[in-house]
Structure 1
Amino acid sequence: MLSVVIPILNEADTIADVVRFARRNPLVDEVLVIDDGSTDESASLALAAGAQVFTSSMLGKGVSMHDGLMLARNDYVAFLDGDLRGLDETLLDQLYAPLQDGADFVKARFGRSGGRVTELTAKPLLKAFFPELSSFQQPLGGIVAGRRDFLLGLDIEDGYGVDIGLLIDTHLAGARIVEVNVGQIEHDPQPLANLARMATEVSRVIFDRAEQAGRYDIATLRAAAEEERQLSAEIEQLAARVRLSSKLALFDMDGTLLEGRFALELARATGREAALLRHLDQPQADAATRSSAIAAVFKGVPQSEFIRVAKTMPLRSGAAQTLIELKKRGYTVGVVSDSYFIAAEVVRRRVFAHFGLGHIMQFEQRQATGQLRINPFFQASHGCQLHPVCKRNVLSHLENIAGQRFEQVLVVGDGDNDLCLLRAAHSGFAIGERSPALRAAAKAHLSDLPALLDLC
């Protein structure tokens, strides 16, 4: 039998039809829809159509695919996109048949040319570094199937690079890949901003795999990729990437969305706790000096360890559900942290926020240099009059990007470093017991994050 996994994000127009299509096939005994924090009715429509619906463990198509693999009961798993139209009734049979004949991975090709990222990015790079894969017509296509045990053994990319990563990794593993023609298929077009991010991710994955295969010295490319990652934290990049609504919700990360403090957990994981504790919560040091001293503690820590800790730290109960509901109510939702952007970006994806902001730890050769760059969002001559580096300044920059003051700003935090931002909000909420001053200034003290929804 066959499990069908469908990652979705705001696919209300099509998801019910895709679920019903999958359930009609007698080979299929479970349809698993993994919701990436949709703010429309996608999840409820999928459930009504007969799917089992789960919330992804973190924002990103690749994460949703991995979640589906973990949940699937069958030995064979097929993946469909949630925005498909015009599906041939034999599509799943065509994906399943090669698996029965011993294939490890089956990739669909369909009757249209590849999209812009496929033609301008993926195919030229495959031809350069993996010419043996250049014959695949839709290397970025998301309609695939494979043996569950084999796929779980691969390092599945989190985001837009997942499909090209699966193709290359399967090839490098020496597995048998079969391409099948499944006829005409219609997809919803992607916005241009999404295509730019997709091209960046696809390029990174291909270069990364080329280096692993000994086909390319990627040191220079890694430096360029690190520069691109750092630029994504800048004001201009966020302005181009995020469309701000008239309502804004800003959440602290440590102790608010996360149970605990990221820097402390990273220090514990890397044997640096004693060194870190000498710098934490030093009232005599200004924020920039203290942050720089803490950053130096982590010199030499691999970038992958920053990401691993940010992915595995427990979230406060109801964090993701609360932020998704705020998005449904029309809020632009952000994570604002005095910690590191690399962690804030992971956490914002775990809770499905629109953006994450933090200071920029510098990396070389995928290891922390111990040098910190203060995020310009936290500095503004027209913002906080008490502190040169302050979360309050983030709000000033966001108002400049929006071109006007927000109709509603709510802030949730747990520490003294949230106080200036909280006072500037229309509605400020404290959570946790760290800061009596914050609790005194807040509109209310939250017992948990879902309680916020009854107060705003």
Structure 2
Amino acid sequence: MGMKKNASWGPLVWRWLWAQLGKLLDKQAPQHPAPEHKVLPPASPLALDAKAYATVIIPALNEAKRIADVVAYALADPATAEVIVIDDSSIDATAQLARAAGARVILSSMLGKGASMQDGIEPARQDLLVYLDGDLAGLRPGIITDLCIPLLRGAADFVKARFGRGGGRVTELTAKPMLKIFFPELAHISQPLGGIIAARKKLLQTLPFEDGYGVDVGILIDAHLSGARIAEVDIGSLEHDSQPLHDLTVMANEVSRVIFNRARSAGRLHVEQVATMYEAQRQAASGIDYVLTRRKGRQRLLLLDMDGTVTPSRFAVELAKANGQSTALMQLLDTHDGDASTRSENIARLFQYLHKKKFEQVARAMEIRPGVIEFVNQMRRRGFMVGVVSDSYFVAADVLRRRIFADFAMAHSIVFENEVCTGQVRINPAFIHPTGSAGNPICKSNVLRRFLSDPSEPAVHLTWVVGDNTNDLALMRLADAAFAIEPKSPSLMNDPDITVIDSFGALLERLPNHILVAKAA
């Protein structure tokens, strides 16, 4: 019932929001007048130093189809001194092909385009940095030179590529209208979400990089707010792999969140009630319906517990330690009064008034077990969809799943208002048994049941689980293969269907060249 309520609420909020935006669009914004704008044509030959002067950075995830051609294209431009490919732990031959084509390949610090873009800045040897996407085709010669020339001339500090007649659906229906309202100085930018840009290294070092789809528009706005002069260069037309339809809603949500946050920071946002919508949209990524759309026909599933499995320690313990609440948390963990739900609510109240950034900082700093990244990568190469399933908070589980390059995270939601914790927890509906079973009413095993009952073809037929404690037991017993890493309970050690391991490295060594078929029902 909760899922249906949320599904019907979303469109109403969007209709209300766009109605408000439409009213604002009809108003003038004289306090932020748009400057005179000129699009620079392809550059004419200049008497420039013949020495190459640009580092080309290419964030890439599973771009084996085109990455070698993009690297070769970049190296053929006389402005290019080096090419760096930041690999998001690709499970295809992206890294090998990029290296063979002449690029320096660096593993990203965590999953996400923003992290990959930022990871390329410090190792760059040149002062001028140019970003390209790894799936481009149809590029005319000389684009890198053209993007750099406004920087070399001193005519701009930040350059965006302009291509084609217009942007995609999210660009035209979300980004541009919102920029027109909140940042009319940038409303003329043809491709605010485009990833082809050029700037000086010292400028990019001062800018924050968002994790998700909003990274490009965030950099654009931040560069503008820093006082950078922004120019566009027309690069003609190009071929670019389009985003799948089911990802467009998440992209639109991310882009709108970034623009709203920048507008608020700049003192331009006065519709504070919209802030409640941000959190609902962010939490949509933890919903089972969205996760199932990302299965993309994969028939194998690996579910990893978070606390004690992916990480040796528990997130709540580390957060309490960082917040000076360790003693209070230990008292709650040691007591056996009340049910698990009540204890979970009491723990969440310890973190009331804590900013969301503290949750994310702790999750980013937590130790992860050696070998887990390599194990996840190998399982994805074998056709597994990999998820982190946790009784903890989605805000942390999603950071951890990106750190190990997993496909999704499923966890409960700790509620934030204006990015400050309210101390309330919302149970993820995917953890609730579909028939209200008295045995496992709220349990990780119900997440696996949702995958197994997914009507999309082909069906999931092979499931693996790695856990460490009794709260993982029902999930492990439902899976085709279950592994306990440093188990905390004899019930896991004594279960004949659970294999005990001491590390992900040991499990990686046990992987067969082929994956066993699912056990008989």
TM-score tier (shorter): over 0.9
Give the Å deviation of 1:266: 0.8
Q: Is the 8 A contact 1:300 1:368 kept in 2?
A: yes
Q: Is the 8 A contact 2:189 2:232 kept in 1?
A: yes
For residues 381-439 of structure 1, the C-alpha deviation after alignment (integer angstroms, 9 at most, x for no partner) is 55876443222222112212256974221110122211121122111111125333323
Give the Å deviation of 1:88: 2.3
Matched, 1:436 2:479: no
Structure 2 match to 1:373: 426
Structure 2 match to 1:412: 466
1:176 corresponds to which of 226, 229, 242: 229
Amino acid at match of 2:431: F
CA RMSD of aligned residues (A): 2.0
Amino acid at match of 1:443: I
Q: Is the 8 A contact 2:127 2:200 kept in 1?
A: yes
In structure 2, distance between residues paired with 1:192 and 1:39? 23
Structure 2 match to 1:423: 477
2:320 corresponds to which of 262, 267, 270: 267
In structure 2, distance between residues paired with 1:433 and 1:390? 19
Query: What SS does the corresponding residue of 1:346 show, helix, strand or coil?
Result: helix
Structure 1 runs not aligned, ≥5 long: none
1:49 corresponds to which of 86, 93, 101: 101
From the superposition, tell whether residues 448 and 427 of structure 1 become closer, same or farther in structure 2 (CA, over 3 Å): same
From the superposition, tell whether residues 383 and 323 of structure 1 become closer, same or farther in structure 2 (CA, over 3 Å): farther
In structure 2, distance between residues paired with 1:440 and 1:385? 25
TM-score, reference length from structure 2:
0.83
Aligned length: 456
Q: Is the 8 A contact 1:379 1:390 kept in 2?
A: yes
Query: What SS does the corresponding residue of 1:114 show, helix, strand or coil?
Result: coil
2:173 corresponds to which of 120, 130, 144: 120
Structure 1 match to 2:246: 193
In structure 2, distance between residues paired with 1:2 and 1:435? 56
From the superposition, tell whether residues 384 and 446 of structure 1 become closer, same or farther in structure 2 (CA, over 3 Å): farther
In structure 1, distance between residues paired with 2:475 and 2:338? 20
1:449 corresponds to which of 476, 481, 504: 504
Give the Å deviation of 1:356: 0.6
From the superposition, tell whether residues 360 and 219 of structure 1 become closer, same or farther in structure 2 (CA, over 3 Å): same
1:64 corresponds to which of 107, 116, 138: 116
Give the Å deviation of 1:236: 3.0
Q: Is the 8 A contact 1:418 1:438 kept in 2?
A: no
Give the Å deviation of 1:153: 0.8
Amino acid at match of 1:51: A
Q: Is the 8 A contact 2:320 2:326 kept in 1?
A: yes
1:80 corresponds to which of 132, 139, 156: 132
Give the Å deviation of 1:452: 2.3
Structure 2 match to 1:232: 285
Query: What SS does the corresponding residue of 1:178 show, helix, strand or coil?
Result: strand
Structure 2 runs not aligned, ≥5 long: 1-52, 512-521
Give the Å deviation of 1:285: 4.4
In structure 1, distance between residues paired with 2:478 and 2:438? 12
1:248 corresponds to which of 301, 312, 315: 301
In structure 2, distance between residues paired with 1:227 and 1:203? 13
In structure 2, distance between residues paired with 1:253 and 1:172? 39
In structure 1, distance between residues paired with 2:301 and 2:337? 33
From the superposition, tell whether residues 425 and 257 of structure 1 become closer, same or farther in structure 2 (CA, over 3 Å): same
Q: Is the 8 A contact 1:333 1:354 kept in 2?
A: yes
Give the Å deviation of 1:283: 4.7
Q: How does 1:100-119 map to 2 (within 5 A)?
A: 100-102=152-154, 103-119=156-172
Q: Is the 8 A contact 2:71 2:83 kept in 1?
A: yes
Query: What SS does the corresponding residue of 1:299 show, helix, strand or coil?
Result: coil
From the superposition, tell whether residues 206 and 429 of structure 1 become closer, same or farther in structure 2 (CA, over 3 Å): same
For residues 189-246 of structure 1, the C-alpha deviation after alignment (integer angstroms, 9 at most, x for no partner) is 1111122211111111111111111111242121011122234333333334444622
In structure 1, distance between residues paired with 2:462 and 2:437? 19
Matched, 1:147 2:193: no
2:69 corresponds to which of 17, 21, 32: 17
Structure 1 match to 2:28: none
Query: What SS does the corresponding residue of 2:192 show, helix, strand or coil?
Result: coil
Query: What SS does the corresponding residue of 2:352 show, helix, strand or coil?
Result: coil
TM-score, reference length from structure 1:
0.94
In structure 1, distance between residues paired with 2:436 and 2:405? 28
From the superposition, tell whether residues 271 and 195 of structure 1 become closer, same or farther in structure 2 (CA, over 3 Å): same
Query: What SS does the corresponding residue of 1:232 show, helix, strand or coil?
Result: helix
In structure 1, distance between residues paired with 2:123 and 2:58? 12
Query: What SS does the corresponding residue of 1:278 show, helix, strand or coil?
Result: helix
Give the Å deviation of 1:54: 2.1
For residues 73-126 of structure 1, the C-alpha deviation after alignment (integer angstroms, 9 at most, x for no partner) is 222211000011122221111122222233321111123321111111111111
Q: Which has the larger radius of gyration?
A: 2
For residues 18-55 of structure 1, the C-alpha deviation after alignment (integer angstroms, 9 at most, x for no partner) is 01111223432321111223232222211211112222
From the superposition, tell whether residues 249 and 79 of structure 1 become closer, same or farther in structure 2 (CA, over 3 Å): same
Q: Is the 8 A contact 2:476 2:498 kept in 1?
A: no
Amino acid at match of 2:237: Q
In structure 2, distance between residues paired with 1:405 and 1:198? 27
Query: What SS does the corresponding residue of 2:121 show, helix, strand or coil?
Result: helix
Q: Is the 8 A contact 1:57 1:64 kept in 2?
A: yes
Q: How does 1:318-357 map to 2 (within 5 A)?
A: 318-357=371-410
In structure 1, distance between residues paired with 2:437 and 2:114? 40
Structure 1 match to 2:143: 91
In structure 1, distance between residues paired with 2:62 and 2:400? 20
Q: Is the 8 A contact 1:110 1:185 kept in 2?
A: yes
Identical-pair percentage: 50
